[in-house]
A and B are shown apart, each in its own frame.
Chain A
Amino acid sequence: NAGVMQNPRHLVRRRGQEARLRCSPMKGHSHVYWYRQLPEEGLKFMVYLQKENIIDESGMPKERFSAEFPKEGPSILRIQQVVRGDSAAYFCASSPRQVEDQPQHFGDGTRLSIL
């Protein structure tokens, strides 16, 4: 049973470019969560999505960041006009249902570096 798959594992962008991070949840999971980890810090929640719906984006920066989880295909976290401060590890997690006794399972992340 494949786990949460994220790609690319490493992404390098220059300031002003766009970054697209992909996340395929575990089989049978329809709930996706994105987290960001800045260097030497803990993970911070960004957004929670179900298929074709954003449920909670309270942790997303107001500008330049967007997320989607289409009916078909992976979830995408998109960062426009990247800046140095966007350099971080971005983790995706998934769960089968939205109940508190279902653990979220994480992928190994995308490490974004901004030159």
Chain B
Amino acid sequence: DAKTTQPPSMDCAEGRAANLPCNHSTISGNEYVYWYRQIHSQGPQYIIHGLKNNETNEMASLIITEDRKSSTLILPHATLRDTAVYYCIVRATLGGGAQKLVFGQGTRLTINP
């Protein structure tokens, strides 16, 4: 499984953009980068995923470097409700073509008023 490296914690002011980095230098060509977050006592919430191109949805933007060895999740206007642990995951492949998610320790993002 490709490993990911994230800073253990980050702070961001409410209303500002939160930029969460992730290194995945051993990613292989057909592996996707996924981002999830987990707000205290809830299940992980899917945010966004991408393969090579930058992606944007209603929650966030995902910027993947050209060599695919790192990526950045951007929350454009952070609110207090964005306080959570954010997980960057490279999808592994199971036998049969399905995938399991390998969660690391993530980044604990705190949005400050």
Interface residue ranges, A against B (CB under 8 Å): 4, 6, 31, 33, 35, 42-45, 48, 55-56, 59, 91, 93, 98-101, 103-109
Chain B residues, Cβ within 8 Å of A98: 96-99
SS class of chain B's interface: helix, strand, loop or mixed? loop
Cross-chain pair count, CB within 8 angstroms:
67
What is the bound-complex CA distance between A42 and B107, given in angstroms? 11
A11–B98 Cα distance when bound, in Å, is 30
Question: B51 within 8 Å of A by Cβ?
Answer: yes
Tier of interface size on chain B: 20 to 34
Q: A33, A42, A91: which contacts B100 (Cβ < 8 A)? A: A33
B100 and A100: CB pair below 8 A?
A: no
Contact: A31 with B46, CB < 8 Å? no
A98 to B32, alpha carbons, bound, how many Å? Answer: 14
B100 nearest in chain A by CB position: A45
